[in-house]
């Protein structure tokens, strides 16, 4: 079998390559051992957001009295939550498989191995392509000495649980750890987080971490930061994390959320001479590996492991194969959202990164507190919009915290990606009352003319 493009892996990066390739008139094969949609659709973004929505509903019911609405939370039925979640996945999966067949992509089901720079073997079938695009994704990894099994789980098992854990311990205060800590707390669990670095959400701007820690403390979520794990042991009833400082943290479940590793082992990548580093496939900024016409997209390429990065990379690779010349992706300008309560949304450089890049004196920042934002008060949420800007120059980063601020990241993205100056944005009208107005206010403050802000 011979194609213009053979794509190995039907996750976000792979299927985006296939769909865009087909749109551009290329003859495309998409090889997938499991289900098209990959981690994002079946074990990641979509199911976790469904759970987070159920969590938001639970919180709304629990707090209904605050708004004068009589309601009582009588319980969370995980079987029904899972059914709701699966319903969302099923509908999207049906749509996606329809798209793949509708665009004329040849879907090959099976486990593929790279056997030449222009060929993937699936069982006894050799599938050749003028171009091969690798998008084999990632897996939940653990740390040395911590075996997954029994009460020690990753997000894969956490998404399948048919009960709410009572007092789960979450290892890792990054994206997955924060989202599960949030869901389980809303569902009534007593959660404790163990994070090795000095703060929760350590990749975010420090102001975001501080305010998130305050909000989590208020929600009753326990956490230890700067906490290195020495060992983990479990028995029939509990699991215990012993820290290097001698302290212990125990619970009924330990969720290991310490990052995801590239899924590249035993796929023939090394044998074909692909440049690799710690399991990741190295590429140039156009996503070429330098071996034949082999390209790589998504989580196997070092950088942010986000579905929307995979989509964009896949689209760009398909366009390059078709002879177009899309520019390389700017990693810092990929929007990032953590959907815990309160949400975190950010884009561009943190204050610390901007100062490191441009010098302490070259940067100005402003933080607009949601206390002055009408819609946020209606929602009873706290947080802020922080802008990091080059003095007299463009906006370099935006960092937001608060319920629903994930929905504001679109405007933040345009501002940073189009290198807007604060005065450009300060002229724009933001609808009242929206949370979006907080962005407008932040820029009015930066432009020296704040409206709803105390001096
Ligand atoms: P992560 O890199 O976001 O967080 C892992 C955390 O574990 C870090 O804060 C790290 O300091 C900590 N850690 C590592 N080793 C440790 C140890 N031995 N002891 C204590 N703490 C330790 O990775 P995470 O949360 O597992 O997520 C994996 C990937 O999935 C990320 O790249 C993330 O971007 C992506 N993802 C994205 C989501 C979103 O966009 N909303 C949601 C969930 C995951």
* Claim to verify: residue 276 and residue 250 sit in the same structural domain: no
Dihedral angle sign, alpha carbons of residues 260, 417, 351, 181: negative
Beta bridge partners of 126: 121
Strands 169-171 and 192-194, how do they pair? parallel
What's the rounded mean pLDDT across residues 16-21?
98
* Claim to verify: residue 97 and residue 238 sit in the same structural domain: no
What's the rounded mean pLDDT across residues 251-262?
98
Ligand 1 within 6 A of CB of 229: yes
Whether 455 maps to a domain, the answer reads: no
Q: What is the pLDDT of residues 379-413, one digit of tens each?
A: 999 999 999 999 988 999 999 999 999 999 999 99
Q: What is the pLDDT of residues 208-242, one digit of tens each?
A: 999 999 999 999 999 999 999 999 999 999 999 99
Other CB atoms closer than 10 Å to residue 427's CB: what's the count? 10
195 CA distance to ligand 1 middle (Å): 10
Question: In whole angstroms, what is the distance from residue 339 CA to residue 390 CA?
Answer: 29
Alpha helices in 37-120 (DSSP H): 38-43, 45-62, 78-102
Angle at 183 between CA 307 and CA 263, to 5 degrees: 35
Ligand 1 within 6 A of CB of 114: no
Q: What is the pLDDT of residues 184-196, one digit of tens each?
A: 999 999 999 999 9
* Claim to verify: residue 322 and residue 382 sit in the same structural domain: no
Burial label for 424, CB within 10 Å (0-12, 13-18, 19+), is middle
* Claim to verify: residue 15 and residue 106 sit in the same structural domain: yes
- Please give the residue range of the domain that contains residue 302: 2-140+261-331
* Claim to verify: residue 207 and residue 87 sit in the same structural domain: no
Q: Is the pLDDT of residue 440 over 80?
A: yes
Q: How many domains does the chain have?
A: 3
What's the rounded mean pLDDT across residues 93-101?
98
Whether 119 maps to a domain, the answer reads: yes
428 confidence band (pLDDT: 50, 70, 90) = very high
* Claim to verify: residue 437 and residue 289 sit in the same structural domain: no
400 CA distance to ligand 1 middle (Å): 19
Whether 147 maps to a domain, the answer reads: no
425 CA distance to ligand 1 middle (Å): 33
Q: Give the domain CATH number at 80.
A: 3.50.50.60
* Helix or strand (DSSP H, E) at 224: strand 222-224
Given 230, 258, 286, which residue is the final one in a domain?
Answer: 258
* Claim to verify: residue 124 and residue 268 sit in the same structural domain: yes
Q: Is the pLDDT of residue 44 over 90?
A: yes
Whether 454 maps to a domain, the answer reads: no
Contact partners, residue 396, CB within 8 Å, separation at least 6? 348, 349, 354, 358, 363, 388, 389, 390, 416
* Claim to verify: residue 215 and residue 283 sit in the same structural domain: no
Ligand 1 within 6 A of CB of 256: no
Pocket test for ligand 1, best of 49, 147, 171, 176 (most atoms within 8 A of CB): 176
């Amino acid at each position: 079998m011979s194609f213009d493009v053979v794509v190995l892996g039907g996750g976000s990066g792979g299927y985006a390559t296939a769909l865009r390739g087909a749109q551009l008139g290329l003859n495309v094969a998409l090889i997938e051992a499991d289900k098209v949609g990959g981690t994002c659709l079946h074990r990641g973004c979509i199911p976790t957001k469904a759970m987070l929505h159920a969590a938001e509903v639970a919180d709304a019911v629990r707090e209904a009295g605050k708004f004068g609405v009589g309601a009582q939370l009588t319980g969370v039925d995980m079987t029904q939550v899972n059914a709701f979640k699966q319903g969302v996945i099923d509908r999207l999966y049906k749509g996606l498989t329809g798209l793949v067949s509708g665009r004329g992509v040849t879907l090959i089901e099976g486990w593929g191995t790279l056997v030449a720079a222009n060929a993937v073997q699936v069982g006894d079938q050799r599938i050749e392509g003028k171009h091969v695009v690798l998008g084999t994704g990632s897996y939940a990894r653990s740390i040395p000495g911590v075996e997954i099994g029994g009460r020690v789980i990753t997000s894969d098992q956490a998404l399948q649980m048919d009960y709410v854990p009572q007092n789960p311990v979450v290892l890792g205060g990054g994206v997955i750890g924060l989202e599960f800590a949030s869901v389980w707390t809303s569902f009534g669990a007593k959660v404790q987080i163990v994070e090795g670095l000095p703060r929760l959400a350590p990749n975010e701007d420090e102001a975001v971490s501080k305010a998130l820690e305050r909000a989590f403390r208020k929600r009753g979520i326990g956490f230890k930061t700067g906490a290195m794990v020495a060992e983990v042991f479990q028995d029939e009833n509990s699991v215990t994390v012993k820290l290097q400082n001698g302290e212990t943290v125990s619970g009924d479940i330990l969720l290991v959320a310490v990052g995801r590793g590239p899924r590249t082992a035993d796929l023939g990548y090394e044998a074909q001479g692909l440049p690799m580093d710690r399991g990741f496939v190295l590429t140039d900024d156009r996503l070429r590996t330098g071996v034949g016409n082999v390209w790589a997209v998504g989580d196997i390429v070092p950088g942010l492991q986000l579905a929307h990065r995979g989509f964009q990379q896949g689209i760009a690779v398909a366009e390059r194969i078709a002879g177009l010349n899309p520019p390389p992706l700017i990693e810092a300008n990929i929007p990032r959202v953590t959907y815990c309560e309160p949400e975190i949304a950010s884009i561009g450089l943190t204050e610390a990164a901007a100062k490191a890049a441009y010098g302490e004196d070259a940067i100005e920042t402003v933080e607009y507190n949601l206390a002055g934002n009408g819609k946020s008060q209606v929602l009873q949420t706290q947080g802020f919009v922080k802008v990091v800007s080059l003095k007299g120059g463009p906006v370099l980063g935006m960092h937001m915290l608060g319920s629903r601020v994930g929905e504001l990241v679109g405007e933040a993205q345009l501002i940073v990606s189009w290198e807007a100056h604060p005065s450009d944005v300060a002229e724009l009208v933001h609808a009242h009352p929206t949370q979006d107005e907080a962005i407008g206010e932040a820029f009015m403050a930066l432009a020296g003319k704040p409206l709803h802000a105390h001096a």
